[in-house]
A and B are shown apart, each in its own frame.
Chain A
Amino acid sequence: MSASAASAITLLALAACTPGHDAAAPAAGGAPAAAQVLRRAVDAGGMRSIDPSISTDVPAAHVLDDLFEGLTRLGQDGEPAPGVAERWETSADGRVWTFHLRAARWSNGAAVQAGDFVYAWRRTVDPRTASDYAEALAPVRNALAIAEGRMDVTALGISAPDERTVRIELTAPTPFLLSLLTKSYAYPQYEPALRAHGDDWVRPEFMVNNGAFRLLEYVIGGRVTLVKNDDYWDAAHVRLQRVVYLPLDRAAQTERFFAGDLDFTESFSAEQTAWLRSRLGAQVVSAPYLGNFVLGVNVTRPPFAGNRALRMALTLAVDRETLVRYVRQGLYQPAWTPTPPLPGYRSPVPAWAALPEAARHALARRYYARAGYNAQHPLHVELRYPTDSDNRRTYEAVAAMWRTNLGVVAEPYNEEFRVQLNERHLKQLALFHYAWIGDYPDPLTFLQLFQTGFGYNDGGYSNPRYDALLAAAGSEADATRRLAELSQAEAILNEDVACIPLYYYATRHLIRSYVRGWTSNIQDRNLSQYMYLLRSQAH
């Protein structure tokens, strides 16, 4: 690893250690402010629905994190912690879990019962609900069969032996189950509210929820206001009285922060990192994020089909340190493999990553020549990417690197996300935007993308050895051995150059120094219930 990459990582590590961790003990700044109103931005274009069974976008997920609570909730440290369930046990083979509920209440005062979970999960996998997330519950027994209409919803592997016990049966040991349970599709839902109001149950006047806040106002495409829920079981520890969510695009978030109209932004433009740090200091917060920026390669059609040499040449010719340092201003970490760093997981970085730049370029040119291309017959390739100024700079830079290092004629071409997704799924694109945000902190969420027949395998990669290793890991009860098998599988991906990883994402927030109680975490989920404002500077 070169010096520049190392310094980038140090920066990230430093940023992760900046203030905000000490929720329990207010820092020297003084006592909590009297008016506890947090103004949070979320990225614009989301918030399509706040129905937990239906919502899929990140902005809505933040709001839902505040409105609902599953069997587990995301703890302040970013790890799953007891939520509605106060304790649980698991069977020896890891396939049956039993959760014991605490005395939690809905926002209308009714008790949260085991049946509310059963109802909600059945609703999510029911084909009639048409939930995009039915497949997310795939680890639960029969979930997929029900979603495909082959079984009745009552066959789902979740049951309520009594009012305070939830029993979950899984198809395979699922080490990340506790993390899955914190997600929106695993929340309980209050059946009487849904029965009475149908699809309208998510409106402020009808919603019954069990989280730390309740819904006061919901303007479509605009502001969402939450107020503290006094019926929440842990309400004693919730200090914010009100949370205002504002969907804004990236530039507007920064502007509003400077205007003093926001306390917590969702993102800022990577290009402005250095300038923002010079102006805002420690209020600029960044930490590793569970996502990768990868170029997808279609191995089923020319020019990449059966041409590993060409794929090798292209991946070797990308100067990742340069990209991260100059285009992303040191915000992200360079990536040589699809899976971002995860605790306990050994990332199989290919040997060529350590080569000095000149040697790597020379190697790239050798592969390029072996693939049958040269200055007279250069490779012509279109780089399709979804419209976004952040993406644009990266793609322009990669195209320029291929041009200068190999002589490739690469044209960046932006198009709308919807169009591109369609073309990707139909495997019409040779090279495409394949960035991925993990659903749960486990390598599987990234490695699945290259499994034969997997729904999102848009590059058409298929290798029996790879599939066998994933299958072996799937039924492996021992966590260490499982991770080792996944690591072996990932090494095969690198060997075959199944994709071109560029960098791993980082979270990027502007957070006022008087906001406390947040923690940088790899899933970038910050529950408002842990946050509060110090009196000294609050608005």
Chain B
Amino acid sequence: MLRFLLQRLLTAIPTLLVIATLAFVLLHLAPGGPFDSDKVLVPQIQHAIESRYHLDEPLWRQYLRYLGELARGDFGPSFQYRNTSVNELIAQGLPVDAAIGSAALLLALLLGGATGLVAATRPGSWRDQLPMGLAVLGISIPVFVTAPLLILVFAMRLHWLPSGDWVAGSWRHLLLPALALALPYTAYIARIVRAAAIEALGQPYIRTARAKGLPTHVIVLRHALRPTLMPLVSFLGPALAGVLTGSIVVEQVFGLPGIGRLFVTGALNRDYTVVTGVTVLYGALIIGFNLLVDLCYAWLDPRVRART
């Protein structure tokens, strides 16, 4: 087990190096520089700014400097937000994404799980077909359509919830963005849970339980829940990554100060350090999530546990 962990962590390093290099190279290939502005600068001032950020050095020196700082966990100073480091920007933005992402995933698990289980108890009935039909719809409508519609209904028409903004710790500000982000995952989870539960409910021991006259909800909760967790866990890896990067849209629509929006404005403004920093962070998080999921999987499935 420990060897498996170590091995995975070691392979993460070249992966991150590849990501960091790709981001660095691509961004420096891009036309336009971070300090091309509306105002044409006096050459001396332009030079002063560039040397402040080491932009006057040859590219390979910039690259080595960047890798060195990265190794120390320092993402460097932001170019677009003067007087601010990328680490500070991330420290400020990440909690927003973490809150929305975990709330969204929780919502998706609860809503999707319940729907899937209910649907599985009576396959083919309206209790199956209606929610599953909705689930297909949920997968097919992009977040940037559902998010504005949620605002239109719940904020502008009904005035139940705020239309955006971010107040740390306020569930009312969290709910709509989390819901918008959760919808496609809810749909996926419902489908996965339904399929797994139907298979589980077809097993002989369940039929035995049924024959004993146990009520359906007891059977489902006591016997069918655990086997359905397996495919769910393997879905969680991509889902976590998706929620993380998918929040770019949600942040945009709801005007939230998360790192996704930071990333997009950074890319458009050639804020090299923000873009590379956020990309590397995303990569590290995705690696972490996948590792976590594999560990869960191993814990749930004795066969995998034995192999590692």
Instruction: Please state if B255 and A418 are interface contacts (CB–CB under 8 Å).
Output: no
- Given the interface pairs A416-B32, A455-B40, the reply to whether A220 lies near B45 with Cβ below 8 Å is no
For chain A residues 443-471, which have a beta carbon within 8 Å of chain B?
A: 455-456
For chain A residues 252-283, which have a beta carbon within 8 Å of chain B?
A: 252, 255-256, 258-261
Q: Is B4 an interface residue (CB 8 A)?
A: no
CB distance from B273 to the nearest CB of A (A): 14
CB distance from B252 to the nearest CB of A (A): 8
Q: Is A44 an interface residue (CB 8 A)?
A: yes
Q: Is B199 an interface residue (CB 8 A)?
A: no
- Given the interface pairs A249-B255, A252-B253, A258-B156, the reply to whether A45 lies near B265 with Cβ below 8 Å is yes
Q: Is A394 an interface residue (CB 8 A)?
A: no
Instruction: Please state if B265 and A421 are interface contacts (CB–CB under 8 Å).
Output: no
Contact partner of B164 (CB less than 8 A), chosen from A128, A256, A418, is: A256
Across-interface contacts of A135 in B (CB, < 8 A): 39, 42
Contact partner of B38 (CB less than 8 A), chosen from A56, A130, A199, A261, is: A56
For chain A residues 386-429, which have a beta carbon within 8 Å of chain B?
A: 416-419, 421-423, 425
Spot the interface stretch: B67-75, B76-84, B131-139, B278-286: B76-84
- Given the interface pairs A127-B48, A134-B45, the reply to whether A252 lies near B83 with Cβ below 8 Å is no
- Given the interface pairs A144-B42, A222-B166, the reply to whether A247 lies near B37 with Cβ below 8 Å is no
Q: Is B25 an interface residue (CB 8 A)?
A: no
| CA A135 to CA B49, docked complex, whole Å | 15
Contact partner of A418 (CB less than 8 A), chosen from B32, B148, B254, B261, is: B32
Instruction: Please state if B255 and A246 are interface contacts (CB–CB under 8 Å).
Output: yes
Q: Is B202 an interface residue (CB 8 A)?
A: no
CB distance from B167 to the nearest CB of A (A): 9
| CA A220 to CA B261, docked complex, whole Å | 11
Instruction: Please state if B257 and A221 are interface contacts (CB–CB under 8 Å).
Output: yes
For chain B residues 6-47, which have a beta carbon within 8 Å of chain A?
A: 31-34, 36-45
Most buried by A among B83, B93, B156, B162: B83
Across-interface contacts of B268 in A (CB, < 8 A): 416-418
Q: Is B3 an interface residue (CB 8 A)?
A: no
Q: Is B290 an interface residue (CB 8 A)?
A: no
- Size of the A side of the interface (Cβ < 8 Å), in residues, is 48
Instruction: Please state if B45 and A127 are interface contacts (CB–CB under 8 Å).
Output: yes
| CA A256 to CA B41, docked complex, whole Å | 37
* Closest B residue by C-beta to A222: B257
Instruction: Please state if A255 and B156 are interface contacts (CB–CB under 8 Å).
Output: yes
Instruction: Please state if A220 and B49 are interface contacts (CB–CB under 8 Å).
Output: no
CB distance from A145 to the nearest CB of B (A): 10
| CA A44 to CA B39, docked complex, whole Å | 20
Q: Is A86 an interface residue (CB 8 A)?
A: no
Instruction: Please state if B82 and A220 are interface contacts (CB–CB under 8 Å).
Output: no
Q: Is B216 an interface residue (CB 8 A)?
A: no
Instruction: Please state if B255 and A252 are interface contacts (CB–CB under 8 Å).
Output: yes
* Closest B residue by C-beta to A198: B83
Instruction: Please state if B255 and A44 are interface contacts (CB–CB under 8 Å).
Output: yes
Instruction: Please state if B48 and A128 are interface contacts (CB–CB under 8 Å).
Output: yes
Across-interface contacts of A130 in B (CB, < 8 A): 45, 48-49, 52
Instruction: Please state if B83 and A200 are interface contacts (CB–CB under 8 Å).
Output: yes
CB distance from A184 to the nearest CB of B (A): 14
CB distance from A251 to the nearest CB of B (A): 8
Q: Is A27 an interface residue (CB 8 A)?
A: no
Instruction: Please state if B164 and A261 are interface contacts (CB–CB under 8 Å).
Output: yes
Contact partner of B33 (CB less than 8 A), chosen from A51, A249, A418, is: A418
Give the secondary structure class of B's interface.
loop
Across-interface contacts of A419 in B (CB, < 8 A): 31-32
Instruction: Please state if B261 and A221 are interface contacts (CB–CB under 8 Å).
Output: yes
Instruction: Please state if B257 and A56 are interface contacts (CB–CB under 8 Å).
Output: no
CB distance from B147 to the nearest CB of A (A): 11
Interface bracket on B = 35 or more
Q: Is B233 an interface residue (CB 8 A)?
A: no
Instruction: Please state if B165 and A246 are interface contacts (CB–CB under 8 Å).
Output: yes
- Given the interface pairs A418-B33, A418-B36, the reply to whether A261 lies near B163 with Cβ below 8 Å is yes
Instruction: Please state if A148 and B269 are interface contacts (CB–CB under 8 Å).
Output: no
* Closest A residue by C-beta to B267: A416
For chain A residues 44-76, which have a beta carbon within 8 Å of chain B?
A: 44-45, 48-49, 51, 54, 56
Across-interface contacts of B43 in A (CB, < 8 A): 148
Instruction: Please state if B36 and A425 are interface contacts (CB–CB under 8 Å).
Output: yes
Q: Is A196 an interface residue (CB 8 A)?
A: no
Contact partner of A148 (CB less than 8 A), chosen from B31, B40, B44, B83, is: B44
For chain A residues 173-206, which have a beta carbon within 8 Å of chain B?
A: 199-200, 202
Across-interface contacts of B175 in A (CB, < 8 A): none
* Closest B residue by C-beta to A132: B39
- B222-248 toward A: CB 8 Å interface, digit per residue (1/0)? 000000000000000000000000000
Instruction: Please state if A221 and B262 are interface contacts (CB–CB under 8 Å).
Output: yes
Across-interface contacts of B36 in A (CB, < 8 A): 418, 421-422, 425
Q: Is B159 an interface residue (CB 8 A)?
A: yes
| CA A256 to CA B156, docked complex, whole Å | 8
Q: Is B114 an interface residue (CB 8 A)?
A: no
Instruction: Please state if A49 and B81 are interface contacts (CB–CB under 8 Å).
Output: yes
| CA A456 to CA B155, docked complex, whole Å | 44
* Closest A residue by C-beta to B252: A249
- Given the interface pairs A421-B37, A422-B32, A455-B40, the reply to whether A220 lies near B81 with Cβ below 8 Å is yes
For chain B residues 102-157, which have a beta carbon within 8 Å of chain A?
A: 148, 151-152, 155-156
Across-interface contacts of A260 in B (CB, < 8 A): 159
- Can you name 10 A-B pairs with beta carbons within 8 Å? A48-B82, A49-B83, A149-B44, A247-B255, A255-B156, A256-B165, A416-B268, A418-B34, A421-B38, A456-B38
- Residues on A lying within 8 angstroms of B by beta carbon are 44-45, 48-49, 51, 54, 56, 127-128, 130-135, 144, 147-149, 199-200, 202, 219-223, 246-249, 252, 255-256, 258-261, 416-419, 421-423, 425, 455-456
Apart from the given pairs A252-B164, A259-B156, 15 other A-B contacts in the complex at a CB distance below 8 Å: A48-B81, A56-B39, A127-B42, A144-B42, A147-B44, A220-B257, A221-B265, A256-B165, A258-B156, A260-B159, A418-B33, A423-B31, A455-B39, A455-B40, A456-B40
Interface pairs A-B: 3 shortest CB-CB:
A222-B257, A455-B40, A199-B83
- Residues on B lying within 8 angstroms of A by beta carbon are 31-34, 36-45, 48-49, 52, 80-84, 88-89, 92-93, 148, 151-152, 155-156, 159, 162-166, 252-257, 261-262, 265, 268-270
